[in-house]
Amino acid sequence: MCRFVLYLGPEITVSSLVTEPVNSLIHQSFHSHEGTEPLNGDGFGIAWYVPAISEEPALFKDITPAWNNLNLLNLARVTRSSCLLAHVRAASPGLPVIQLNCHPFVEGPFAFMHNGKVGGFPSLRRLLANRLSDSAFNTISGSTDSEYLFALFLDNFRRLNEENDGCAAMAEALAASITEVEQLKKEAGVDEPSTLNLAVTDGRGAAVSRYISRGVERANSLYLHTGTGYTCRAGHCLMEAAETGRGAVLIASEPLSEDEGWHAVPPNSMVITGRDLQVTTVSLDSR
Amino acid sequence: MCRFVLYLGPEITVSSLVTEPVNSLIHQSFHSHEGTEPLNGDGFGIAWYVPAISEEPALFKDITPAWNNLNLLNLARVTRSSCLLAHVRAASPGLPVIQLNCHPFVEGPFAFMHNGKVGGFPSLRRLLANRLSDSAFNTISGSTDSEYLFALFLDNFRRLNEENDGCAAMAEALAASITEVEQLKKEAGVDEPSTLNLAVTDGRGAAVSRYISRGVERANSLYLHTGTGYTCRAGHCLMEAAETGRGAVLIASEPLSEDEGWHAVPPNSMVITGRDLQVTTVSLDSR
Amino acid sequence: MCRFVLYLGPEITVSSLVTEPVNSLIHQSFHSHEGTEPLNGDGFGIAWYVPAISEEPALFKDITPAWNNLNLLNLARVTRSSCLLAHVRAASPGLPVIQLNCHPFVEGPFAFMHNGKVGGFPSLRRLLANRLSDSAFNTISGSTDSEYLFALFLDNFRRLNEENDGCAAMAEALAASITEVEQLKKEAGVDEPSTLNLAVTDGRGAAVSRYISRGVERANSLYLHTGTGYTCRAGHCLMEAAETGRGAVLIASEPLSEDEGWHAVPPNSMVITGRDLQVTTVSLDSR
Amino acid sequence: MCRFVLYLGPEITVSSLVTEPVNSLIHQSFHSHEGTEPLNGDGFGIAWYVPAISEEPALFKDITPAWNNLNLLNLARVTRSSCLLAHVRAASPGLPVIQLNCHPFVEGPFAFMHNGKVGGFPSLRRLLANRLSDSAFNTISGSTDSEYLFALFLDNFRRLNEENDGCAAMAEALAASITEVEQLKKEAGVDEPSTLNLAVTDGRGAAVSRYISRGVERANSLYLHTGTGYTCRAGHCLMEAAETGRGAVLIASEPLSEDEGWHAVPPNSMVITGRDLQVTTVSLDSR
C-alpha cells in the first residue's frame, strides 16, 4: 500500500499537500486512515513542474520516511508549482527500499505514480519485458511492477499520440496499459487480482485510474476534489468554491482536509483532467 | 519513545533478538505493544562485543527504519555474541534523525542506550554541559538528552571506579547520574518529569534502570527474563530453564516472545547483572 | 578542506554555480584545483532565499558526494534565487560525516559556511561553549568547529545589531567572532593556526572573510567576481560587464569559469556586500 | 572503474583488506594507483562467509564513499572470515548510485563482483535479458551490466554443474559467460571493447578473470598473491611464506601491501582457486 496526491491548478506550495493539511501526505506516511495498513514509511517522492525552465518535471526522492526528512520539509516550504505530485511508499514485502524504487517515476515530460500492485508480478515480469520497446525497456532502473507499468504506458503513449492530442492520448494510453497487463495475466494463467490506482501527468493535464480486477471487492481508495484553488491558512486547508468552481484539481488516496467536497472516485473508473482543467470521469472495464 | 533490548549469556545471533521472535525488535519498530506510540521508525542501532578481538563493542547504526534495512537483516543473520544490545528509535519532535543521534552510544568498553526523556532538557542542556569534564564533554557528537546522560555516566564511573570493582561502579554510576540530573532539574526549577529507562554494559555485566520522576504515574515498560539460554527455532523463541536457570539474561522494553517468565521490572528500580550473570534488582529513589 | 561559493544578484539557477561552469562546485567536489587536497566528497549543501515566501533560507544537505546526488542535480536545474550558497565538504579526520555537520548552517535569516578550521578546536570546544548564550548554545546540533563559530557569530550579531543596520552588524559580528576565537586560543595557549574563510548572508547582503592566523604562510584560496549578471549558455559561463558593472557578486573558493575578472581576495581581509550590492574589501587583523 | 579484492585462507579480519594495508581498499577508494581514475567514491560493499551458520554469504553495502562510513570501520574491525570480498565503486556515467547497484552481488552460495564494463551494454541489455532463464532474470534488481553478467553466470553454472564438481563448474561458467557476452556483441554489431575483471566465489573456491576484448591494449589491472597467511601488525601487512607457501590467496585490482610476491595476472587469463586452495592460472580466449 502506498498513498499519493496529484494537484493541478493555480500555483501552491508543496507544503499545502505534504505538511499543512490535517491529513497531509506526511500524516498519511505514519497514520493513513484508509490504507490497508496505516504505515507508509518506506521512502517518498515529490515531483513538480517549472514550465518557465523546462517541460521535464523536477524530482526529489529519498528512502527515509517522509515524516523525518528535513530536506523534504525545507523544499515543501518554499517550492511552488501549478502541477505537483507526492507519494509515500509502503514497500511490497521482499522488494528493496531504494531510491529508484520510490515514486514518482519521470521520463521526458511525464511523471507517474502507483498505489497498489500487479497481481502475480514475478510470473509476469519477463512477459512484460518482452512486450516493451528497447527504449521503454531501457528506462527501467529498478525492479518494481510500477516501473514496468510506466514503461508500458510510455510505449502505448507513443503509439496513440500520433492520432490524438497529448491529453487524450495520455488517458487512452493509461487505460490501454491496464487492459494489456490484465490481458497478459489471463494468458499467463495468473489469478491474483491487481489494484491499479495509477496517476500520470505531463504537467498540464492528467489521468488517474481507480482500478481493481474483476470479482474482487475493495478497490484502493481514491478521492477527487475540485474548485478554484486550494489554500492553507494557519493549518486550515480548503478548496475554494468547492464543487461549483473550476480550475483547481486534487486527486488523492485520502481526503487531505476536512472541508466538504471530497468525492470518492467510483471503482474501475478514470479521472481525466484536460488542458483546460475540466474534469471528466470515465468507466474502465474490469477484467 | 523508543524500544530496546539487552542480552547477556551464551552466544546467540543478533537475529534471535532483532528478527526471529514474534515481538522482535523489528516488529516493535513498526508495531510496538506497550509504547506510548506504536511506531519506532526513526533509525536503529545494534552493538555487540567480540571479546577475542577487542573490549570495545562493535556498532552498527542507520537512520532508516529497522524494518527495511537490508544490511541489518544480513548482519543479524550471521553475527553472534555473548553480549548484544539493540535499539529502535522514535525521535523526539524537533530532534533530527541523524546517525549520531541513534542509540546505542559507545565509548571505550561501554555501550549505552535510553528509552524516555530528560524532562525540560532544553533548559538543562547548558547546565549539564557545565558539569561535565572536558573529556566527557568532547565525547558528545549530537544534541540529544541521551548523549548528555551517557557523558554524565562516564564521569561518574571514572570517579566511582577507583573504589569499586567495575561492575558495581557501573551500577552506582548509573544511579548517581539519575540522581544528578533530577537534582539539577530541581535547582533549575524544571517541573517536567523524566523517564529514564537506561541500559549500560561493558560486555560482561550490565545495569538497567526503570525510572520515572516522583508523582508521575506510568513508567516506560521494562521486562526481565532469565534462564540458561535463549533459543529460536523455526520462529519460536524461548528462554530455556526460565526462572530456575541462570546464565542468560534478557532485559527488554517489551517481552519478545510468548513464553512464560517475562517479569515486569518494578518502577524506580535497577536490574544489575554481575560478572557471574547473577541478577539482582535494587530500588532507585524517585526524586 | 572544503570549497564554497556565494552568489548575490539577479536570479540565477543553482545549476549556474553547481553543475554548469567548467570548474563548477560539483567539479570541485572531485577535482578541486586550489584546495590542499583535490577531493571534497564528504557531503554537500545548498541554501537559497525565496523572499516572496520567507526571510528564512531553504536548505538542502546530504552526506553523499555532490557528484552523484540525483536530487541535487534535479534541484539545481529548476531552482532559481537571487541569493545562493553552495558548499562541498572534506571532513576533518575523525569528524563524522553526518547531515548536520554539512554546511551551510542556517538560523533565522542567516546562512553560514566555513572553509578551514579553528586551530586546536578540541581544546577550545568547551571554552567556546562557555562563552555562548543559552540560545546560541542550543542551536548547535553537531560537533564541528564551524557550528560553534556560527553560534559565536549569532551572539555577536545580536549584540552589535542594536547600534548598526543589519548589514554592517553582520560584517562586524563576523570580524568580532574571528577576533574572539583567536583571542581565546591565546588565553588557552593554543598554537595551531586557524584558517577561517567564513561566509555569512541574510539573503540581501553578505560578509566573507579570508583569514589565516599570524605567521602562517598560505591562506585558503578565495576569489571575488563582480558585474551585472552571471550567465551560463551551453556550458559556457561568464560574468557580464565583469569589473565595470555592478549588481551581481560571486565569492568563491576557486574561479568557477574561465572568463576574466576573478580576483584573489587578499589574505586577512573581508569582502562586504551591502544591501545595494556594492562590494567593499576591508582588512582583518591577523592575530 | 572500480577496485576489488578477494581473499581465501585462514580467518582474517575484514580490516586486513579494507583499512590496514598501506594501499587498503579504503585507500584505493580515494587514491587508487592503477585505475584509469584515482577515485572510487560511489559506494562500496563487502561480503563474507560464516560457514558455521550458513552457506550463503553475508553482505554489507552502502552508497556513501568507503572512506567515511563508520559502520564499515566498525564491521571491518571485528568481522573475521576465511572468505572475504570487498569492492569500491566508480559508477559509470549516467548510472545511478544506489545500494543495489553496488557490488558484490550475492545469490544462493555465490558472491560476485566486477571491475570494468560490457562494451555497448545499452544495446545489449535486452538481448541479454532474452537469454536468461526466468529465475535468473528475476534475480536482477538494478540496471547494471554487472548484474546481468552475474545472472548469465548463474544460468551457466546450473547447466555446467550437472557434469562437474562445483569448483570446476564455477570456473567454466565464468569463462562461458565471458564468451557468451562477447559473442552476443558480435551478433549485435557492437564494436566497443569489454573489460571483464570478474570474481566469483562460493566461499570455498573462486574464479577470477582478467579479460579484455581482442585488439584492445590495456586490460584493467589484477594481481595475485599467495602464501600461508596474510597478517597485519601495526599497519604493516604481508603474506607469510609468500610464493613458497600455500593455503592463503589474495586476488586484488592492486597490490594492497608493499611486500614481495604480488604478481600481475596475465591479460586474458583466469585464476582458479580450488577447494584445496591450490591456485592455477588458465588462458581465456580474447574475442
In angstroms, rounded to a whole number, what is the distance separating the alpha carbons of residues C47 and B234?
52
In angstroms, rounded to a whole number, what is the distance separating the alpha carbons of residues A246 and D210?
65
- The answer to whether D125 contacts A143, with C-beta atoms less than 8 Å apart, is no
- B-contacting residues in A 77-106 (Cβ below 8 Å): 91, 96-97
Give CA separation, A17 vs B171, C107, D273, in Å. Answer: 50, 25, 58
Q: Which uninterrupted H or E stretch holds C47? A: strand C44-48
* Closest-CA distance of chain C to residue D205, Å: 35
pLDDT at A93 over 70: no
Chain B interface, best mutation among D78, D79, D106, by max B CB count within 10 A:
D78
Q: What is the mean pLDDT of residues A215-234?
A: 92
Per-residue pLDDT at B115: 95
Chain D interface, best mutation among B11, B74, B99, B101, by max D CB count within 10 A:
B74
Per-residue pLDDT at C97: 66
User: Count of CB atoms within 10 A of residue A4's CB?
Assistant: 29
* Closest-CA distance of chain B to residue A188, Å: 31
Per-residue pLDDT at C6: 98
Q: Is B39 on the interface with A (CB under 8 A)?
A: yes
* Closest-CA distance of chain C to residue A62, Å: 9
Q: Is C71 on the interface with A (CB under 8 A)?
A: yes
Listed range (A57-71, A261-275, D35-49) with the worst mean pLDDT? D35-49
Q: Which residues contact A199 (CB under 8 A, 6 or more apart)?
A: A4, A6, A85, A112, A113, A114, A206, A207, A208, A209, A251
Active-site residue, C2 included: yes
* Closest-CA distance of chain A to residue D224, Å: 35
- The answer to whether A75 contacts C58, with C-beta atoms less than 8 Å apart, is yes
Which residues lie across from A272 on neighbouring strands?
Answer: A207, A280
Q: Is B59 on the interface with C (CB under 8 A)?
A: no
Cell of A158: 507513443
Cell of A55: 517541460
Per-residue pLDDT at C262: 97
pLDDT at A251 over 70: yes
- The answer to whether C30 contacts D39, with C-beta atoms less than 8 Å apart, is yes
In angstroms, rounded to a whole number, what is the distance separating the alpha carbons of residues D190 and D185?
5
In this prediction the ipTM stands at: 0.91
Q: Which uninterrupted H or E stretch holds D166? A: helix D166-187
Per-residue pLDDT at D163: 67
Could you report the per-residue pLDDT of D64-115, keeping only the tens digit for each?
Answer: 888 889 999 999 999 999 999 999 988 776 666 677 788 999 999 999 999 9
Find out whether the peptide bond into C104 is cis, omega within 30 degrees of 0: yes
Q: A188 with A124: CB under 8 angstroms?
A: yes
Could you report the per-residue pLDDT of D129-139, keeping only the tens digit for each?
Answer: 999 999 999 99
What radius of gyration, in Å, describes the C-alpha atoms of chain A?
17
**Which DSSP category does B127 fall into?**
H
Per-residue pLDDT at A206: 97
Q: What is the mean pLDDT of residues C108-122?
A: 95
In angstroms, rounded to a whole number, what is the distance separating the alpha carbons of residues C186 and A133?
70
- The answer to whether B142 contacts C143, with C-beta atoms less than 8 Å apart, is yes
Among candidates C99, C130, C138 on the partner chain, residue whose Cβ is nearest the Cβ of B125: C138
Give CA separation, B195 vs B6, B118, B120, B214, in Å. Answer: 18, 7, 11, 10
Listed range (A155-169, B13-27, C131-145, D20-34) with the worst mean pLDDT? A155-169
Chain D interface, best mutation among C68, C73, C101, C102, by max D CB count within 10 A:
C68
Amino acid (one-letter) located at C54: S
pLDDT at C148 over 60: yes
| Cα-based torsion angle of the residue sequence B217, B219, B220, B225 in order, rounded to the nearest 10 degrees | -130
Among candidates C98, C138, C140 on the partner chain, residue whose Cβ is nearest the Cβ of B99: C98
Determine the residue of chain B that is closest to D60 in CA distance. Answer: B71
Q: B220 with B115: CB under 8 angstroms?
A: yes
The SS3 of residue D231 is strand
pLDDT at A16 over 80: yes
Could you report the per-residue pLDDT of A126-149, keeping only the tens digit for each?
Answer: 999 999 999 999 999 888 999 999
Count A/B contacts: CB-CB distance under 8 Å: 30
Q: Which of A35, A47, A95 is nearest to A254 (CA)?
A: A35
Q: What is the mean pLDDT of residues C191-212?
A: 96
In angstroms, rounded to a whole number, what is the distance separating the alpha carbons of residues B214 and B203?
32
Q: Is C52 on the interface with D (CB under 8 A)?
A: no
Which ranges of chain B does DSSP label H, i.e. alpha helix?
Answer: 15-18, 25-31, 70-78, 121-131, 134-138, 145-161, 166-188
Which residues of A fall within a CB distance of 8 Å from D122? 138
In degrees, to the nearest 5, what angle opens at C-alpha A129 toward C-alphas A126 and A132?
155
Strand positions, DSSP E, D63-107: 80-89, 105-107
Cell of C140: 548547535
- The answer to whether D75 contacts B60, with C-beta atoms less than 8 Å apart, is yes
Mean per-residue pLDDT of chain D: 92
In angstroms, rounded to a whole number, what is the distance separating the alpha carbons of residues B92 and D169?
55
Which residues of A fall within a CB distance of 8 Å from C77? 53-54, 58
Could you report the per-residue pLDDT of A26-44, keeping only the tens digit for each?
Answer: 999 888 888 777 888 889 9
DSSP one-letter string for C237-269: EEEETTTT--SEEEEESS-SSSSS--EEPPSSE
Per-residue pLDDT at B287: 54
Q: C186 with C287: CB under 8 angstroms?
A: yes
In angstroms, rounded to a whole number, what is the distance separating the alpha carbons of residues B44 and B4?
10
Q: Is A37 on the interface with B (CB under 8 A)?
A: no
Q: What is the mean pLDDT of residues A257-273?
A: 96
Backbone angles phi, psi at D191, to 5 degrees: -100, -20
Per-residue pLDDT at A1: 66
Largest CA distance in chain B: 54
pLDDT at D4 over 60: yes
Backbone angles phi, psi at A119, to 5 degrees: -60, 135
Q: Is D44 on the interface with B (CB under 8 A)?
A: no
Q: Note the pTM of the prediction, 2 decimals.
A: 0.92
- The answer to whether A137 contacts D125, with C-beta atoms less than 8 Å apart, is yes
Per-residue pLDDT at B163: 67
Q: A141 with A162: CB under 8 angstroms?
A: no
pLDDT at C63 over 90: no
* Closest-CA distance of chain A to residue B68, Å: 7
Q: What is the mean pLDDT of residues B75-102?
A: 84
In angstroms, rounded to a whole number, what is the distance separating the alpha carbons of residues A28 and C4?
38
Q: Which residues contact C5 (CB under 8 A, 6 or more apart)?
A: C17, C25, C84, C85, C86, C250, C251, C252, C253, C256
* Closest-CA distance of chain C to residue B149, Å: 16
Per-residue pLDDT at B97: 67
Q: Is B68 on the interface with D (CB under 8 A)?
A: no
- The answer to whether C100 contacts B99, with C-beta atoms less than 8 Å apart, is no
Could you report the per-residue pLDDT of B89-102, keeping only the tens digit for each?
Answer: 887 666 666 677 78
Q: Which uninterrupted H or E stretch holds D117? A: strand D110-117
Cell of A217: 471487492
D195-201/D110-117 β-pairing: antiparallel
- The answer to whether B78 contacts D61, with C-beta atoms less than 8 Å apart, is no
Q: What is the mean pLDDT of residues A92-101?
A: 69
Among candidates C126, C134, C141 on the partner chain, residue whose Cβ is nearest the Cβ of B143: C141
Per-residue pLDDT at D95: 65
Backbone angles phi, psi at A72, to 5 degrees: -60, -45
Which residues of A fall within a CB distance of 8 Å from B39? 30, 39, 41
Q: Is B137 on the interface with C (CB under 8 A)?
A: yes
Chain C interface, best mutation among B59, B126, B128, B135, by max C CB count within 10 A:
B126
Could you report the per-residue pLDDT of C15-54, keeping only the tens digit for each?
Answer: 999 999 999 999 998 888 887 777 888 889 999 999 999 9
Q: What is the mean pLDDT of residues D16-33?
A: 92
**Which DSSP category does C104 fall into?**
P
First to last CA, chain B: 21
Listed range (A16-20, C220-224, D216-220, D251-255) with the worst mean pLDDT? D216-220
The SS3 of residue C71 is helix
Q: Which of A54, A134, A65, A135 is nearest to A102 (CA)?
A: A65
Q: Could you give the percent of chain A with pLDDT greater than 70?
A: 95
In angstroms, rounded to a whole number, what is the distance separating the alpha carbons of residues A4 and A273?
17
In angstroms, rounded to a whole number, what is the distance separating the alpha carbons of residues C215 and C234?
45
Residue A74 binned pLDDT confidence (cut-offs 50, 70, 90):
very high
Determine the residue of chain B that is closest to C132 in CA distance. Answer: B126
Per-residue pLDDT at C217: 75
Which residues of B fall within a CB distance of 8 Å from D48? 78
Per-residue pLDDT at B209: 98
Chain D interface, best mutation among C1, C64, C69, C95, by max D CB count within 10 A:
C64
**Which DSSP category does C158 fall into?**
H
pLDDT at A94 over 70: no
Could you report the per-residue pLDDT of D147-171, keeping only the tens digit for each?
Answer: 999 999 999 999 998 767 678 999 9
Q: Which of B130, B48, B144, B58 is nearest to B99 (CA)?
A: B144
Q: List chains adjacent to chain A, taking adjacency as at least 3 C-beta pairs closer than 8 Å.
A: B, C, D
pLDDT at D172 over 70: yes
pLDDT at D219 over 60: yes
In angstroms, rounded to a whole number, what is the distance separating the alpha carbons of residues B68 and B77?
15
Determine the residue of chain A that is closest to C72 in CA distance. Answer: A60
Q: Which of D24, C63, A43, D111 is nearest to B74 (CA)?
A: D111
* Closest-CA distance of chain D to residue C269, Å: 34
What radius of gyration, in Å, describes the C-alpha atoms of chain B?
17
Which residues of D fall within a CB distance of 8 Å from A136? none
Determine the residue of chain C that is closest to A100 in CA distance. Answer: C70
In angstroms, rounded to a whole number, what is the distance separating the alpha carbons of residues A284 and A265?
12
Q: Could you give the percent of chain C with pLDDT greater than 70?
A: 95
Which residues of A fall within a CB distance of 8 Å from B67? 41
The label of the residue with cell 566469483 reads D200
Q: D247 with D152: CB under 8 angstroms?
A: no
- The answer to whether A58 contacts C78, with C-beta atoms less than 8 Å apart, is yes
Residue A162 binned pLDDT confidence (cut-offs 50, 70, 90):
confident
Per-residue pLDDT at A209: 98
* Closest-CA distance of chain D to residue A32, Å: 28
The sign of the torsion formed by the CA atoms of C13, C18, C19, C21 equals positive
Which residues of D are known catalytic residues?
A: 2
Which residues of B fall within a CB distance of 8 Å from C122? 138
pLDDT at C163 over 70: no
Secondary structure (H, E, C), chain A: CEEEEEEEEEEEECHHHHCCCCCCHHHHHHHCCCCCCCCCCCCEEEEECCCCCCCCCEEEEECCCHHHCHHHHHHHHHCEEEEEEEEEECCCCCCCCCHHHCCCEEECCEEEEEEEECCCHHHHHHHHHHHCCHHHHHCCCCCCHHHHHHHHHHHHHHHHHCCCCHHHHHHHHHHHHHHHHHHHHHHCCCCCCCEEEEEEECCCCEEEEECECCCCCCCCCCEEEEECEEEEECCEEEEECCCCCCCEEEEECCCCCCCCCCEECCCCEEEEECCCCCEEEEECCCC
HSE toward the beta carbon, residue D117, CA cutoff 13 A? 18
pLDDT at D287 over 60: no
- The answer to whether B63 contacts A65, with C-beta atoms less than 8 Å apart, is no
Among candidates D13, D61, D70 on the partner chain, residue whose Cβ is nearest the Cβ of B71: D61
Could you report the per-residue pLDDT of C232-254, keeping only the tens digit for each?
Answer: 998 899 999 998 989 999 999 99
In angstroms, rounded to a whole number, what is the distance separating the alpha carbons of residues D128 and A238?
52
- The answer to whether C125 contacts B143, with C-beta atoms less than 8 Å apart, is no
The label of the residue with cell 488516496 reads A253
